[in-house]
Structure formats: structure tokens, C-alpha cells
Structure 1
Amino acid sequence: MRFSISYYFKLLLLITFIYTLSTASAASSSSVKGVREARPRQFRMQIFSRPYSKGNVQTIRAINGASSPCWNLSSKRVGSYELNDPLVKVTFYRSSDCNGAPSATYYNQHSSKQSHISIKARSVSVLKVKPVILKEQHKDL
């Protein structure tokens, strides 16, 4: 039985395609696992009255697992903050009940620290952001 070069080329393309699919699915499952393990069990945030983590500090914790809690701040000045979960949206408000127009909103996708923000606020709201994981769509050939 004799095969042509185009047959071997098609076979090589098929093997390459299958290998690419298997490595992509393994990489995406490991990245999903890494994101799930990176989320802390208990949310903690420290707000400083001065830039670069200096001045008066207020520690905020979410024990009951609320998805979007609101906290009153002990100082009207916010210079910097640190938190232990980078997948959150932090919104500062001038009002004490987290209503009205926000003073500032920060999306902490890659960093858990804002070292120099210098704003005035009376309350802060934190919203958990779910990670977006893109899945490949496979069509049957």
C-alpha cells in the first residue's frame, strides 16, 4: 500500500491539531484552578489616611460573606489602601451610606495595593468580581 505526500501532510496536521487542543485544555483547567485557589476565604482591607501606607489605619473585614458590603470610614481622608483579594471593585463615596455619586472607583485586577490615591470619602463599598474564563468552542469536523 502506497500513500502520497498529501496523506502524510494531512495526518501531521491532524496530530498537531489534537496536540494543540489537549495542551490548551490542560492550561485552561490549571489557570481556573489557580484563580480559585488565589481567592481568600475572608476579605480584609486596610485603609490608610496618608499615601504609601502611612498615617491612621482602619482595618475592614467581611466575615459573613456579603458580596457588596458598605463600611463607614473613621477618617475622611483616604491616602492609600491594601487588600488581600485583587478581584474586587472598590468604590469610595462622600456620603456615609454608599449612596450618590462615587468619589472614586478602582478595579484591582492585577494589584492588591493602591499606594497613592489622596481622596476624601466617608464610606467604601467592595464588590467581588468574578474572573472571566474564556472557553474554546470546538466544532465537530
Structure 2
Amino acid sequence: MLLLLPVFLLIISNLFSNTFAAPTETWNKRPSQFRMQVYSRPFRKGTVQHIRTYIEAPSQSPCWNLSSKRVGSYELNDPLVKVTFYRSPDCKGSPSAIYKNSALPRDHVLIKAKSVSITKVKPILLQSRKDL
């Protein structure tokens, strides 16, 4: 019985350290290549357009023309981007929809757009500072 207690405590401590360390590590790991799939119908159905790029600077905002003017859903591999859809083909003018960072795919969007732009967002990590 006494031999099992240290083993149990070791397993529990590893479980808690991995549980609380995982979100910080996943937010720090950004994909080297941005990928986005835009679907013409909700729930990732219909015609799909694959978008790929390398985003170097946070101020850089690439623009792509969409093959279908109807956007039903989309998914991306980087949750720390802001996705902006425009009715104009050159990503200028007022946007038709803006979606902030989300780790889950947007399954039900239903908008009309001719172009899409993305902007890299910096993560905000909540941790105590040691220099204060």
C-alpha cells in the first residue's frame, strides 16, 4: 500500500503538469504554412477552394479572390488569424464579415463574398511577470 502511494502521486503530478502546460505550448506553436479551405455550402460541403501561403509579418494581409461568391463554411489551421470577407474582388471597401480567431471550423457562415483577407493576430499569454 505504501509503495503505491508515491507512484500514484507521480502519475497525478504528471497529469496535472501536462494538462496545464498543453494550452501554452499549443498557442506558441504556429504553423509554418497557413492553410484555409473555403466551402460554398454549410458544414464543409459544396465546392471547395484551397488557400495556402506563408505569412511572414503580422502587418502583412494577403488577399485572395474566391472561386464561388457564396461562402457557407470555412476551416483553417491557425487559430490566431483574423479572417475578413469582402464583397469586392480586391479586398477593399467595407467588409461583408469579419471573424476573429477560433480553433474550431466555422460550419455555418452563409455570406456572399468575392475575396478574403487574413491578418495574423498575436497571442495574449496570461502569466505572471517576474520583473514586477
TM-score range, shorter chain: 0.7 to 0.9
TM-score by length of 2: 0.74
Q: 1:81 to 1:139 in 2, by over 3 A?
A: closer
Q: How many residues align?
A: 112
Identity of aligned pairs, percent?
58
Residue 129 (str. 1) matches residue 121 (str. 2): yes
Larger Rg: 1
Match of 2:75 in 1: 82
> In the alignment, is the contact (CA less than 8 A) between 2:34 and 2:55 conserved in 1?
no
In angstroms, what is the RMSD of aligned CA positions?
2.4
Q: 1:87 to 1:64 in 2, by over 3 A?
A: closer
Residue 106 (str. 1) matches residue 96 (str. 2): no
TM-score by length of 1: 0.70
Structure with greater proportional helix content: 1
- Distance in 2 between the 1:52 and 1:132 partners? 30
Residue type matched to 1:96 in 2? P
- Unaligned 5+ residue runs, structure 1? 1-26
- Structure 2 residue aligned with 1:94, among 87, 90, 109? 87
- Distance in 1 between the 2:131 and 2:78 partners? 37
